């Protein structure tokens, strides 16, 4: 029997960043059939969304969900539907040697839609946490940065539609403190992306490659993640945290700026002046969620979104950064990121709670926020799922469902 839902009474953000509307959303099967005011029930199960935000399904543009692979990866369900996220982009957990297993064993079986960026290292992201010995990364041997293998892998899996670009992690310790290894990774990933017509995401934290060199070599549609990291290699000026000339020029030519919070890449001491004083807001908001930050300081995407709510980013812009803008960065805006007639029925219901909520950065600095986003429920391809916190068994703030009369 085909699912039929009517989401009624909520405030609908369509994903494009404009003002919300008080309209109803009808879902039939896996598709949004109708959006409009005071829609008739017509035999649908009514989802009472009073007091809730109705948004496109949240998209996490930076995650590590290759279950069981290496130190970092978590299961998709830990970062997915139960946290309000319907689509995940795994950013480089897999390399050319491991990607086939990722697609066959994880991507093909997940309830979430999972897409992937290929690590330029053929082994992918297996190690690299500085507190877990042995500390070594995917560029510890320069031979791992093998662009021909990446190109062949991207072309081989192009038709499946899940492998959509390249990833390079540029950190000195991940390359045995050898600048030549970092450059082999960066320029190899750039070559692979260009030769396959895909985009490149770059992690640049404590790198031997100067920020300007990295930024000057990115093209329109490439992505800089870990934007507000507080380390010496920041692309913001040290004196006042204003964006450097190279950072502004990169944005002006269409390079995307992504949060990628992680366990080492979001500092209030950078984000506050960058956003509040200099107006350098992110294009996309993502978590970089993995095993070392799932239970703090990241927790989930709504918690990361709450940090930008606290910084003063308008709600509509926050929603856009985690829906339509993320889909556009993935070059999938024709499929995801909007609430509109005919779209796949990926929808998230959020509540903005009021209180006193501690929001921690990667340095242990805490800001007490008066509001936060809490995920309530999602529809994924038209199927209803209640949300849960990562460490809880009970759903959060259950939604009232009104079943049709027999």
What would the mean pLDDT of 60-81 be, rounded to a whole number?
Answer: 97
Other CB atoms within 10 A of residue 283 CB: 21
60 neighbors 79 (Cβ within 8 angstroms): yes
Topology of 4-55+342-352+372-402 in CATH?
Urease, subunit C; domain 1 (2.30.40)
Give the separation between CA 360 and CA 256, rounded to whole angstroms: 25
Say whether pTM exceeds 0.75.
Answer: yes
What would the mean pLDDT of 232-245 be, rounded to a whole number?
Answer: 96
CATH of 58-329, one of 3.60.20.10, 3.90.550.10, 3.40.50.11750, 3.20.20.140: 3.20.20.140
198 neighbors 154 (Cβ within 8 angstroms): yes
Of the candidates 312, 302, 314, the one whose C-alpha atom is nearest the C-alpha of residue 372 is 302
pLDDT at position 392 is: 55
Give the confidence band of 293 by pLDDT, cuts at 50, 70, 90: very high
Give the separation between CA 231 and CA 234, rounded to whole angstroms: 6
Q: Is the pLDDT of residue 15 over 80?
A: yes
Helix (H) or strand (E) holding 76: helix 76-79
78's tokens: 């830990």
360 neighbors 63 (Cβ within 8 angstroms): no
357's tokens: 């909520």
Give the confidence band of 396 by pLDDT, cuts at 50, 70, 90: low
Which residues pair with residue 385 across a beta bridge? Answer: 378
Q: Is the pLDDT of residue 405 over 90?
A: no
Give the confidence band of 399 by pLDDT, cuts at 50, 70, 90: confident
Domain boundaries, the chain: 4-55+342-352+372-402, 58-329
Other CB atoms within 10 A of residue 119 CB: 31
Q: Is the pLDDT of residue 390 over 60?
A: no
Express each pLDDT in 323-351 by its tens digit: 999 999 999 999 999 999 999 999 999 99
User: Which residues, including other chains, have CB under 8 Å from residue 115's CB and lie 6 or more apart?
Assistant: 87, 88, 89, 90, 162, 163, 164, 330, 332
Give the separation between CA 345 and CA 339, rounded to whole angstroms: 8
Express each pLDDT in 51-63 by its tens digit: 999 999 999 999 9
Give the separation between CA 79 and CA 71, rounded to whole angstroms: 16
Express each pLDDT in 175-203 by its tens digit: 999 999 999 999 999 999 999 999 999 99
Instruction: Look over the chain and give the mean of its residue pLDDT values, rounded to a whole number.
Output: 95
Residues comprising the chain, all counted = 406
399's tokens: 């939604």
């Amino acid at each position: 029997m085909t699912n039929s839902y009517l989401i009624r009474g909520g405030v609908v953000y369509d994903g494009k960043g404009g003002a919300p509307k008080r309209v109803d959303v009808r879902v039939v099967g896996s598709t949004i059939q109708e959006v409009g005011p005071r829609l008739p029930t017509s035999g649908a199960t009514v989802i009472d969304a009073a007091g809730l935000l109705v948004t496109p399904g949240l998209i996490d543009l930076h995650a590590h969900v290759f279950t069981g692979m290496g130190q970092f990866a978590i299961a998709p369900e830990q970062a997915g539907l139960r946290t309000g996220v319907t689509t995940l982009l795994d950013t480089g957990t897999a390399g050319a040697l491991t990607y086939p297993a990722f697609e066959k064993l994880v991507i093909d079986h997940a309830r979430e839609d999972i897409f992937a960026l290929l690590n330029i290292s053929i082994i992918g992201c297996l190690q690299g946490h500085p507190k877990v010995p042995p500390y070594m990364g995917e560029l510890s041997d320069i031979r791992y940065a093998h662009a021909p293998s990446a190109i062949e892998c991207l072309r081989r899996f192009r038709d499946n539609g899940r492998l959509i670009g390249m990833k390079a992690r540029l950190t000195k310790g991940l390359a045995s403190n050898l600048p030549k290894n970092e450059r082999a990774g960066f320029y190899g990933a750039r070559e692979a992306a260009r030769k396959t017509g895909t985009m490149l995401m770059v992690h640049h934290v404590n790198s031997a490659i100067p920020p300007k060199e990295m930024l000057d070599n990115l093209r329109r549609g490439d992505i800089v993640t870990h934007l507000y990291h507080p380390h010496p290699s920041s692309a913001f000026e040290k004196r006042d945290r204003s964006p450097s000339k190279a950072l502004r020029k990169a944005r002006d030519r269409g390079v995307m700026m992504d949060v990628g919070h992680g366990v080492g890449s979001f500092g209030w001491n950078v984000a506050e002046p960058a956003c509040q004083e200099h107006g350098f807001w992110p294009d996309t908001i993502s978590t970089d969620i993995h095993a070392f930050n799932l239970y703090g300081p990241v927790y989930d995407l709504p918690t990361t979104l709450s940090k930008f709510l606290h910084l003063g980013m308008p709600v509509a812009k926050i929603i856009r950064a985690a829906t339509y803008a993320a889909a556009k960065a993935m070059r999938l805006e024709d499929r995801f990121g909007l609430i509109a007639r005919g779209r796949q029925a990926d929808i998230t219901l959020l509540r903005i709670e009021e209180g006193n909520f501690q929001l921690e950065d990667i340095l242990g600095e805490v800001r007490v926020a008066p509001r936060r986003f809490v995920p309530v429920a999602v529809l994924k391809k038209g199927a209803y799922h209640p949300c849960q916190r990562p460490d809880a068994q009970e759903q959060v703030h259950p939604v009232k469902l009104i079943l049709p009369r027999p």
